Homo-oligomer: A and B are copies of this chain.
Amino acid sequence: MYLRCLNTLSAGGLRTVSSGSLAKRFHLNSAQIRKDLAYFGEFGVRGVGYDVHALRDHLTKILGLDRKHNVGIIGSGRLGTALAHYYGFDGANFEIGALFDSDPNKIGKTIGDVKVFDIKDFSSIAKRDNIEVAVIAVPAADAQNVLDLVVDAGIRAVMNFAPVPLKVIDDVKLKTVDLTTSLESLAYYLASDANGKNPKPNSTRHRKRI
């Protein structure tokens, strides 16, 4: 997020920022900014602030965005293909190397520039194309199997869009984006809003013990 802020500032021609001005500009807290940045090193100059370009370069390197990552998407349904396009465009940091599916009607097709492979060939294709990140965009019922498969193939970083909690070994990073509960949380807001506005649980309750 800081990286995105810095890119905005850089595009505006700014050479230097203080944590205070950064905070004001992007509705953040200046102490938080300093703590976050100091965690990785001493990038600032007292009395001056941070050099926009130098800081951006530092963060880019820290985040591992100074080189391209190949991504494989499992599930070439609507969500999978939409993600393929989304991440394909995006920055130059990620490249969608391959799509995978188990549906014979889809295998062999090309979506955008990306070929759809048989999920059975995941391991060999992943090795051949140096795929480091897997994106799971399959039905919930298949997600755990797919996860196990990509982990077995040596993948260490997985993004999961299936709305199920998945189990994974410790040294694999799993990031789940749950589009269903995200939307449901909005329904909760509307519901609690319709009633008593405030969180409102438990106005009159409980024989309290003294």
Contacts and interface: CB of A to CB of B under 8 A. Distances in A.
A210 interface: no
Interface residues of A, number: 61
B156 A188 contact: no
Given A40-B202, A193-B156, A201-B41, A133 B82 contact: no
Interface string A66-82: 00010100000011011
Interface stretch (A46-54, A120-128, A172-180): A172-180
Contacts of A61: 191
Interface of A is mostly: mixed
Given A27-B165, A41-B201, A191-B64, A159 B180 contact: no
B41 A202 contact: yes
A72 B164 CA distance: 25
A63 B205 contact: no
A157 interface: yes
B69 A78 contact: no
Contacts of A82: 78-79, 81-83
Given A41-B202, A79-B82, A201-B39, A63 B184 contact: yes
- Copies of this protein, total: 2
A6 to B, nearest CB: 14
Contacts of A185: 175
Interface stretch (A14-22, A84-92, A98-106, A142-150): A84-92
Among A4, A159, A171, max chain B CB count under 10 A is at A4
Interface of A: 1, 4, 26-27, 39-42, 61-65, 69, 71, 78-79, 81-83, 85-87, 90-91, 93-94, 132-133, 156-159, 163-165, 167, 171, 173, 175, 177, 179-194, 201-202, 205-206
